[in-house]
Amino acid sequence: MEYLNELNPVQKEAVENYTGPSLVIAGAGSGKTRVLTYRIAHLLNQGVRPYSVLALTFTNKAAREMKDRIANVVGQEQAQSLWMGTFHSIFSRILRYEAEHLGFDSNFTIYDTQDSRNLYRAIIKEMQLDDKVYKPNEVQNRISSAKNNLVTSAAYANNAKAQKADAEARKPRISEIYSRYSQRCKQANAMDFDDLLLQTNILFRDFPEILAKYQDKFKYVLVDEYQDTNYAQYLIVKKLAEQHKNVCVVGDDAQSIYSFRGAKIENILNFRNDYPNYQLYKLEQNYRSTQNIVNAANSIIHKNKGQIQKESFSDNEEGDKIKIVKALTDHEEGYLITNDIFETRMRSHCAYQDFAILYRTNAQSRIFEESLRKLNLPYKIYGGLSFYQRKEIKDLLAYCRMAVNPHDEEAIKRVINYPKRGIGATTIAKLQDAASQNVLSMWDIICGLHERPYGLNAGTISKIAKFTNLIKGFQAQLATETAFDLANNIANSTGIIKELYNDRSPEGVSRHENIQELLNGIQEFTQNALEEGRELHLPNFLEDVALLTDQDNEKDEDRDKVTLMTIHSAKGLEFPYLYIVGLEEELFPSQMATSTQQELEEERRLFYVALTRAEKKATLSFAKSRYKWGNMSYPRPSRFIREIDERFVEYTYEQEPEFSGNGRDNYQSTTEFEVPNSPSRFQQKRSFSAKPKLNQPVSRIKQSSNQNVDPNFTPSDPDSIQPGMVV
Ligand code: ATP
Ligand code: MG
């Protein structure tokens, strides 16, 4: 049990006492994820069967890394049999086993955000509502939030509060949209991401014997990043752990950054009510970052009220101060940062993968991409329009989805006339109408056209018949062909490959390459599945793709590259050299998030998450001018820069009055330098701190003891899904 020596005394205690309810609550970088990982390894070492352990992580990547680590201790076979993954992936697996109880088929499709938005758009149109009032993304968010609070469409219709809020927002028909949407998903045998959690809760509520089966199965339940669970997730964990009460959750209230998706910090605070005899572990030593970084991060989060009191210090080297970089323009910010990466890498002999650039919104990546390309620095970018969202990829996958679940309406609509086979928009509208009227799927309608033609002429019906026969042909091969063979066959026999090959425009060539790339990916999946003895058919591949998260697209050749990502997707990760860019008012904190104290505190937590990703050195930057919506804007530097205790920062320029009161007289020498490849020469000042160095970390900051919950939070009865819940 050598692994126990890799833990400090409190961590070790949390690993060894693996029965009963435990809450590990601690600051960033203190080894929470390590505790969870080692606790699982320890469980297995003590003879607990791997299939009775349920471990929930925030990304698939995190689950994979944990599994690898555990495999090192207990061996591959045991690690592979753990039930470990994201909430969505674990519960979609359970839902496939139990689908029939809920009126779904086990081969249901998982609609991604875009599919789901398309369906909302179609419904809004059918109901002849104004899509400027009923904006599809707003409707989607509203209903998603209802689902995360376990308000079903029927419950929503009876929820006086929701109705009143919708009426006040002049959108009184949201409830009707919600109910149509739910019905259409059911006809299409499809669930969206929120449904995966909602339906699991419905399953556990309505089928006590099924709940009992899983309660019995999962003897140990563990959850990472618990502060970002929403109500639907909280309730699943609570119910599953009810019997054995061996539940271990780890989290940091100061890192709760998903309240816009319904995450509830209160879940941590409720833990003590749900399990009065719980064990609390507080980890205080940060192993990730230098003292300066930990101290700076503490001084920031200290500004938030209502954090759970905890301490955090680092015994690592003191390290460099947090460097603040000012750029005249957004482009110059790109040059300065990428150039710094270039130089630091030379100087410190480190790898590209040691660097990350974090930003508040995806749109900020473009300028950094440009300058990285100019300097020839390899980079990988997470988020944004991912590979799987591209049109040609979605088209081919739509055929694949239809082979698995022909009722998938969003897939049918994509490909019924692609490549073109003469089935026009009016015909498609008629078919969809017929489906709605008869409460059937579009597939049911098109397969029954010879009996009920819905006014379509013989020519059209025969074109549609060709399409249905094509799909039926694929279905027949599902069980026998591997994912790759079938996908390859689909790409060829539908004519997609030919169509793209014939388009010799640069876009056409790149689409063709993307399809090849997708097929390569499917081949790789098939090969890996074969080697690891997993299922290697098309449904299995589609399941993996549907559940990809932002971080999961990494390929082997991507390893040694500079990382570009939003702060939200950097959660749980660490990088030796970190750049947080665009630190400007209205960008970060975001313009959308400064009207209430709560919103601002969430932005501040986001900044805390960002800063605590850094191991050795953190650099913050802002630009004095930036193009926004096509106009030049002149933002002020972010308040967050000012909020860091001045002892831990170093300004690389002379501060302006707007920045007053924060170490302004620290400057001693000025140097002028030119950044290679930079379009402009500009002046910078080098700073030296006049203050004596701190021997003692000032980090043991007592945080506000106001640890109570948000006064707006109304605790709900977690044993039932209630129509009365506030949405
Ligand atoms: P976050 O809040 O950001 O998710 P965390 O609390 O989960 O952070 P980990 O990622 O588990 O922290 O640990 C941070 C780093 O410190 C990791 O590189 C981990 O390997 C290392 N670490 C944790 N505990 C120890 C220890 N006892 N000895 C040495 N290194 C440790
Ligand atoms: Mg962690």
Is the model's pLDDT at 670 over the cut of 60? no
Is the model's pLDDT at 727 over the cut of 70? no
Mean pLDDT of the chain: 88
The question of whether 392 is a catalytic residue gets the answer no
Helix (H, G, I), strand (E, B) or coil at 687: strand
Separation of alpha carbons 70 and 38, rounded Å: 7
Summarize pLDDT for 349-360 with one digit per residue, the tens. 999 999 999 999
Summarize pLDDT for 180-226 with one digit per residue, the tens. 999 999 999 999 999 999 999 999 999 999 999 999 999 999 999 99
Is the model's pLDDT at 558 over the cut of 80? no
The question of whether 32 is a catalytic residue gets the answer yes
- What is this structure's pTM? 0.86
Separation of alpha carbons 13 and 81, rounded Å: 26
Q: Which atom of ligand 1 is nearest to the CA of 613?
A: 3
What pLDDT, on the 0 to 100 scale, is given for residue 550?
66
Is the model's pLDDT at 231 over the cut of 60? yes
Query: Residue 323: beta bridge partners?
Result: 619, 650
Is the model's pLDDT at 434 over the cut of 90? yes
Residues with CB under 5 Å of ion ligand 2 are: 32-33, 572
Count of C-beta atoms within a 10 Å radius of residue 39:
26
Summarize pLDDT for 22-45 with one digit per residue, the tens. 999 999 999 999 999 999 999 999
pLDDT average, residue stretch 624-631 = 85
Is the model's pLDDT at 458 over the cut of 70? yes
Helix (H, G, I), strand (E, B) or coil at 689: coil
* Token output for 194: 């929120």
Nearest residue CA, atom 30 of ligand 1?
Answer: 287
Backbone angles phi, psi at 701, to 5 degrees: -80, 130
Q: Is 34 in the pocket of ligand 1 (CB under 6 A)?
A: yes
The question of whether 224 is a catalytic residue gets the answer yes
Reported ipTM: the value is: 0.99
Count of C-beta atoms within a 10 Å radius of residue 666:
18
Q: Which atom of ligand 1 is nearest to the CA of 609?
A: 3
The question of whether 229 is a catalytic residue gets the answer no
Q: Is 334 annotated as a binding residue?
A: no
Q: Is 572 in the pocket of ligand 1 (CB under 6 A)?
A: yes
Separation of alpha carbons 51 and 82, rounded Å: 5
Quote the ligand 2 centre to 1 CA distance (angstroms).
23
Separation of alpha carbons 236 and 201, rounded Å: 6
Q: Which atom of ligand 1 is nearest to the CA of 7?
A: 27
Is residue 286 a contact partner of residue 31, using CB atoms and an 8 Å limit? Answer: no
Quote the ligand 1 centre to 286 CA distance (angstroms).
7
What pLDDT, on the 0 to 100 scale, is given for residue 527?
93
**Regarding predicted confidence, which is higher, 1 or 545?**
545
What pLDDT, on the 0 to 100 scale, is given for residue 551?
65
Q: Which atom of ligand 1 is nearest to the CA of 8?
A: 27
What pLDDT, on the 0 to 100 scale, is given for residue 549?
73
Confidence grade of residue 407 (pLDDT, cut at 50, 70, 90): very high
Residue 31, amino acid: G
First-residue to last-residue Cα distance in the chain: 48
The question of whether 554 is a catalytic residue gets the answer no
What pLDDT, on the 0 to 100 scale, is given for residue 460?
96
Confidence grade of residue 384 (pLDDT, cut at 50, 70, 90): low
Q: Is 26 annotated as a binding residue?
A: yes
Q: Is 251 in the pocket of ligand 1 (CB under 6 A)?
A: no
DSSP per position, 585-601: TBBTTBGGG-SSHHHHH
Confidence grade of residue 628 (pLDDT, cut at 50, 70, 90): confident
What pLDDT, on the 0 to 100 scale, is given for residue 260?
79
- The DSSP secondary-structure symbol of 218 reads -
- The DSSP secondary-structure symbol of 21 reads -
Confidence grade of residue 559 (pLDDT, cut at 50, 70, 90): confident
Q: How far is CA 178 from CA 125, 154, 172, 183, 203, in A?
A: 14, 9, 12, 9, 20
Quote the ligand 2 centre to 37 CA distance (angstroms).
10
Count of C-beta atoms within a 10 Å radius of residue 488:
16
Q: Is 494 annotated as a binding residue?
A: no
- From the CA of 252, the nearest ligand is 1
Least confident residue range of 436-450, 477-491, 653-667: 653-667
What pLDDT, on the 0 to 100 scale, is given for residue 279?
96
What pLDDT, on the 0 to 100 scale, is given for residue 556?
65
